[in-house]
Amino acid sequence: MIIARKKLQLQRLWRQRGCRVATYICLGVLVLFGFVYNSKGNSMSSIKSDSAAQQFDDLDDLTNKELPGGPDPNTIFRGSELGNYEPKEPEIPSNQPGEHGKPVPVTDEEGMAAGRAAEKEFGFNTYVSDMISMNRTIPDIRPEECKHWDYPEKLPTVSVVVVFHNEGWTPLLRTVHSVLLRSPPELIEQVVMVDDDSDKPHLKEKLDKYVTRFNGKVIVVRTEQREGLINARSIGAKHSTGEVVLFLDAHCEVNTNWLPPLLAPIKRNRKVMTVPVIDGIDSNSWEYRSVYGSPNAHHSGIFEWGLLYKETQITERETAHRKHNSQPFRSPTHAGGLFAINRLWFKELGYYDEGLQIWGGEQYELSFKIWQCGGGIVFVPCSHVGHVYRSHMPYSFGKFSGKPVISINMMRVVKTWMDDYSKYYLTREPQATNVNPGDISAQLALRDKLQCKSFKWYMENVAYDVLKSYPMLPPNDVWGEARNPATGKCLDRMGGIPGPMGATGCHGYGGNQLIRLNVQGQMAQGEWCLTANGIRIQANHCVKGTVNGFWSYDRKTKQIIHSQKRQCITVSESGSEVTLQTCTEDNERQKFVWKEFYQSS
């Protein structure tokens, strides 16, 4: 009886429209929940069946919604305990000069003459370098915290690629020796020395014989013709067999426990590129020293709109998640010379753009490509590498000599990766407007294949601190060669920073005579601003974060006017002096005609 009554009540309820709707909604929710749950299960099953590299990429997407390169939970700070890869015994110094990275003074006339000859030939003093041991000791200038990190026991293997062209003997071989001396041997798959068509005798049979002492750990690859640094590096990567390719210049010395800190972030995420802190080695005395002063002073890589590499303090947003000052941190770009990258990821990215020639722009091509295509770049404070900065470039570009190689390279990068932001490069470098970048269809196809993000995304999420120092540039009002017809001279940044602006014979090649004056009154040559200093005009660093000034060009009177001083640029009757004088419409030495100058490919 009770059951019959309950059944009758349910039938009456079901006849009500609201009850039926609520029931259908509940059933729909249950079905949807079951579908989502099943999909997650299938997704996790597919992750297990993929390659190890793909497994990690998918897991990283699921667990870390931040940009690649965040803190690594598998790298552990041990407090007062020594880290697991730290050397247990100190290196034993030789009895040769330069130990502990100390400078080697040369005071005798014969030695100084030999040093000058060596510097002219190689760009640095190999006479001094030849006195120093291949395995010399250098100071450990890492932050103190670096001695107390534990890195994963199983790290990826490395192929170290060193490209050289007519390099000095001891700087080149000391690079190789330092890698083998200060790296865990189980991590070094090989050192690949790429000879980019050298013609110096010591880099032929003598080098081949020397590397046999390393029992196959070091190989020499020779290009068939002069390729330039960029393509030669890609060749080196293609000859590599390690899981990671690590590029060093041919005049470096790696520091204590430099390698594990570079590899740990790549082990965690194969799409992260790592960059060591670059220390300086004096090109004359061979002294090893910090470039940044304090080992705890960290800077990330950015750029100004002419694509010159700059550095700035790391942002608060980036420091917020770092518990220790010695932890890696993200960087929008890098200087280009020294870095480590997963070999297969580098291959997926197409190595370097094959259309880039010799050197110049490759660090931006790779930086933009990595970030926009799903990877990241981190600077690693616990990895230090010393680098010799040449006093000059001691060799030519070979078959590319006389061509605007760097401008062509930059235009390839700009046209491939920078989207609408390319206009700011062309505002800063208007002479490059007509430079033909060549065929970039393969690069655009790669960008499409990898489903890379826009440059706008890159600027807003990665390089957001660039605009604080280098705002978007307003259009140029006038630019080019500013010629004074009365004297036949052109305005010229004479050299030196700070240094005077003068007027010299017009040469038609741009360079220091290529002046820009934008619609907001800032006048500049290259990256340098031209400002009033009394009655003189001085070239100096632009005030960061500004794009305005006090200059204007009157097209009617042809005068360049300083609005604050109410004076005009005036060329002297003789000599190269330029001053600010009271504006007078009939003063012919205050009149300038602007002629735009365009580079050709």
Q: Is 390 annotated as a binding residue?
A: yes
What is the crossing angle of helices 17-49 and 2-14, to 10°? 90
Q: Is 528 annotated as a binding residue?
A: no
Q: Is 249 annotated as a binding residue?
A: yes
Q: Is 359 annotated as a binding residue?
A: yes
CA-nearest of 193, 200, 256 to 220 is 193
Q: Is 438 left (phi over 0), alpha (psi -120 to 50) or beta?
A: left
Pairing of strands 559-562, 567-571: antiparallel
Residue corresponding to tokens 């032929």: 204
Q: Is 384 annotated as a binding residue?
A: no
Dist. CA 124–CA 295, nearest whole Å: 26
Single-letter amino acid, residue 206: K
Residues 6+ apart with CB under 8 A from 591: 484, 485, 486, 557, 558, 559
How far, in Å, are 118, 130, 176, 249, 435 from residue 124 at the CA level?
Answer: 7, 12, 18, 14, 34
How far, in Å, are 40, 56, 116, 267, 358 from residue 50 at the CA level?
Answer: 16, 10, 59, 17, 39
What is the CB-side half-sphere exposure of residue 101 using CA atoms within 13 A? 23
Q: Is 196 annotated as a binding residue?
A: yes
Cα angle: 338, vertex 392, 218; to 5 degrees: 40
Q: Is 251 annotated as a binding residue?
A: yes
How far, in Å, are 116, 161, 166 from residue 558 at the CA level?
Answer: 49, 56, 51
- 3-class DSSP state for residue 264? helix
Both structure tokens of 373: 């295509």
* DSSP codes joined into one string, 422-447: HHHHHHHSGGGTT------HHHHHHH
Dist. CA 568–CA 550, nearest whole Å: 11
Residue corresponding to tokens 């003189």: 536
Pairing of strands 376-388, 272-281: parallel
Both structure tokens of 154: 């199983």
| Distance between start and end Cα atoms, the chain | 99
Number of neighbouring beta carbons within 10 Å of residue 116: 13
Q: Is 165 annotated as a binding residue?
A: no
Both structure tokens of 557: 């009177």
What is the crossing angle of helices 362-372 and 405-417, to 10°? 10
Binding-site residues from annotation for Mn(2+):
249, 251, 387
Binding-site residues from annotation for substrate:
196, 226, 359, 390, 395
Binding-site residues from annotation:
196, 226, 249, 251, 359, 387, 390, 395
